[in-house]
Amino acid sequence: SYAAFAGRTVHAFHIEGVGGGHFPDVLALALSAGNQVLAVGGVTNMNGVARSQVARLNAEGSLDLNFAPPAIVFSGGAALVNAVAIDANTNSFLSANVGKIVIAGQFTSVGGVNRSRLARLTSSGALDPNFLSNLTGADNNINAVAVQLDGKVLIAGAFTAINGVSRGGIARVNTDGTLDTTFMNGLSGADSTVRASNSSRSSLRTACSTWARRATCWRPPCAWWSLSVSFAACAVSALPRPSWTP
């Protein structure tokens, strides 16, 4: 169950597509209100029902039929949603955004509307037209996303520009999707792709460049590790051992 992962980093897991194989994958999970679970990745159906890279499951695992996001498309091939975060901001002026869903990955449109690798959905799954409207978004894939308590959105990935402004793999956007120019301004950022995984509370739990991705179980009894974000280098910190054995 999702509860077994609470407070721990989940790198990825996959479900078998039609005919077996390793695609489509479920790449990220997020816990939403009512113990529902958002699952994103390359999935095109969930529990036998068509879903475009994003699905929401009820607490017992059945598909939430009231949540039906529009088609997510990548002009260069197969669309992927690599990361998802629930807006749980504590800004009294942004209470309307609480419960909205930020998705990021490899896509160029959502519901036929241009959204380059970053978008926000309402709690019902509809595209939020007030986020990233008429903006160019990321010029390359986004691998991780997190919503801060002030409602701003942290992103990390393979991009070199956000909304046409240079940003090396790490950036922050404002609540409307415009670039936060006070973050990483004048800094070169990462020199290679940043890969990160989110905690169950949608905070940016880990971030590092590809040369130092993620340590795993090193000897029994299993010691589980995560790479903590520091923007200057990857620091290693221990996480509690899960109650299950891989």
User: Which residues on adjacent β-strands are paired with residue 86?
Assistant: 101
- The pLDDT of 61-76, averaged and rounded, is 95
pLDDT at 33: 87
Q: Residue 67: is its pLDDT beyond 90? A: yes
pLDDT at 235 over 50: no
What is the share, in percent, of the chain residues with pLDDT greater than 90? 64
Average pLDDT in the chain: 77
Counting residues of the chain whose pLDDT is more than 70, the rounded percentage is 70
Query: What's the pTM?
Result: 0.74
Strands 36-41 vs 54-57: parallel, antiparallel or unpaired: antiparallel
pLDDT digits (tens, 9 = 90+) for 11-28: 443 344 333 334 468 999
Asked whether the predicted pLDDT for residue 73 surpasses 60, the reply is yes
- How would you list the strands of the sheet with 113-114, edge to edge? 72-73, 109-110, 113-114
Task: Check pLDDT > 60 for residue 199.
Answer: no
Token pair, residue 98, equals 């609480």
